[in-house]
Amino acid sequence: MNKLFSIGFWGWVARFILRNRTVILIVIAGITVLLALQWKNMRFTYTEANLLPDDHPINLEYDQFLSHFGEEGNLIVMGVKDSTIFTPMKFKAWNQLSEDIGKFSEVEFTLSVGNLKKLEKKKDTTGFELVPFIHDSIFTDANLAAYKDELFNKLPFYDGLIYSPDKKSIRSAIYMKKDVVNTSERKDFVIKDLIPLIKKFEADTGVKVHTSGMPYIRTLNSQSIIDEIGLFIAGALFVTSLIFFFFFRSWRATFISMCTVIIGVMWSFGLLGLMHYEITVLTALIPPLIIVIGIPNCIFLINKYQQEIKLHGNQAKSLQRVISKIGNATLMTNLTTASGFATFILVKSELLSEFGIVASVNIIAIFLLSLLIIPIFYSYLSVPKPKHLKHLNKTWINKFVNWVERMVRDRRITIYIVAILLLCTSIIGIFQIKISGSLIEDMPKNTGFFDDIRFFEKEYEGIMPLEIMVDTKKKKGVMSLSTLKRIDELQDHIKEIPEFAKPISVVELVKYSKQAYYNGNPEYYQLPNSQEKNFILSYAKSSNTNTNLLSSYVDSTGQFARITTFMKDTKPDRFNRIEEDLHEEINKVFPPERYNVSVTGKALVFQKGTHYLVNNLILSLSLAIFLIALFMAWMFRSFKMIMISLIPNLLPLIITAGVMGYLGIPIKPSTILVFSIAFGISVDDTIHFLAKYRQELIANNWKIKKSVYAALRESTVSMFYTSIVLFFGFSVFTISSFGGTVALGGLVSMTLLFAMLSNLLLLPTLLLSLERSIANKETMKKPAIEILTDDGEEIK
Has residue 235 got a pLDDT over 60?
Answer: yes
- Give domain status of residue 523, yes or no: no
Other CB atoms within 10 Å distance of the CB of residue 203: 9
- Give domain status of residue 447, yes or no: no
Instruction: Give the Å distances, CA to CA, from 225 to 187, 220, 231, 356, 554.
Output: 13, 9, 10, 19, 37
- Give domain status of residue 208, yes or no: no
Provide the pLDDT confidence category of residue 452 given band limits of 50, 70 and 90: confident
* Percent of the chain with pLDDT strictly greater than 70: 88
Q: What is the CATH number of the domain that holds 706?
A: 1.20.1640.10
Mean pLDDT for 694-720 is 79
Has residue 410 got a pLDDT over 60?
Answer: yes
Mean pLDDT for 255-267 is 91
Provide the pLDDT confidence category of residue 792 given band limits of 50, 70 and 90: very low
**Structurally, how many domains does the chain consist of?**
1
> What pLDDT score was predicted for residue 393?
62
- Give domain status of residue 340, yes or no: yes
Q: Burial level of 507, CB count in 10 A (0-12/13-18/19+)?
A: buried
More confident position, 482 or 2: 482
- Give domain status of residue 132, yes or no: no
- Helix/strand/coil for 108: strand
User: CA–CA separation, 432 vs 658, rounded Å?
Assistant: 8
Provide the pLDDT confidence category of residue 170 given band limits of 50, 70 and 90: very high
User: CA–CA separation, 747 vs 726, rounded Å?
Assistant: 12
Residues 707 and 211 sit within 8 Å (Cβ to Cβ): no
Kind and range of the H or E run holding 26:
helix 21-36
Residues 513 and 612 sit within 8 Å (Cβ to Cβ): no
User: CA–CA separation, 4 vs 12, rounded Å?
Assistant: 12
Has residue 732 got a pLDDT over 80?
Answer: yes
For the ranges 418-432, 497-511, 594-608, 637-651, the lowest mean pLDDT is seen at 637-651
pLDDT tens-place string over residues 321-369:
888 877 777 887 788 788 878 877 877 777 778 888 999 999 999 999 9
User: CA–CA separation, 762 vs 404, rounded Å?
Assistant: 10
User: CA–CA separation, 426 vs 653, rounded Å?
Assistant: 10
> What pLDDT score was predicted for residue 287?
86
> What pLDDT score was predicted for residue 46?
59
Residue 578: name the closest of 434, 740, 433, 437 by CA: 437
Domain with 247, as residue range(s), is 2-48+220-431+606-774
For the ranges 226-230, 236-240, 464-468, 668-672, the lowest mean pLDDT is seen at 668-672
Mean pLDDT for 759-781 is 71
Burial 525-562 (b: 16+ CB within 10 A, else e): bebbeeebbeebbebbeebebeeebbebbbbeebbbbb
Provide the pLDDT confidence category of residue 664 given band limits of 50, 70 and 90: confident
End-to-end CA separation in angstroms for the chain? 13
- Give domain status of residue 589, yes or no: no
Q: Could you please report the per-residue DSSP string of 447-508?
A: SHHHHHHHHHHHHHS--EEEEEEEE-SSTT-TTSHHHHHHHHHHHHHHHTSTTBPPPBSHHH
User: CA–CA separation, 281 vs 739, rounded Å?
Assistant: 11
DSSP 326: I
User: CA–CA separation, 728 vs 723, rounded Å?
Assistant: 9
Has residue 116 got a pLDDT over 60?
Answer: yes
- Give domain status of residue 459, yes or no: no
User: CA–CA separation, 569 vs 572, rounded Å?
Assistant: 9
> What pLDDT score was predicted for residue 86?
92
User: CA–CA separation, 348 vs 153, rounded Å?
Assistant: 51
Tallying the residues shown for the chain, one arrives at 796
More confident position, 541 or 420: 420
**Mean per-residue pLDDT over the chain, rounded:** 82
> What pLDDT score was predicted for residue 448?
77
> What pLDDT score was predicted for residue 538?
63
Give the ranges where 155-276 is alpha helix by DSSP (H): 184-188, 195-205, 214-248, 251-274
- Give domain status of residue 195, yes or no: no
Residues 276 and 350 sit within 8 Å (Cβ to Cβ): no
> What pLDDT score was predicted for residue 8?
74
Provide the pLDDT confidence category of residue 3 given band limits of 50, 70 and 90: very low
More confident position, 710 or 6: 710
> What pLDDT score was predicted for residue 439?
62
Residue type at 796? K
Residues 494 and 462 sit within 8 Å (Cβ to Cβ): no
Provide the pLDDT confidence category of residue 388 given band limits of 50, 70 and 90: low
User: CA–CA separation, 191 vs 218, rounded Å?
Assistant: 12
What's the sign of the alpha-carbon dihedral 295, 321, 16, 315?
positive
What pairs with residue 500 in β-bridges?
A: 567
Provide the pLDDT confidence category of residue 420 given band limits of 50, 70 and 90: very high
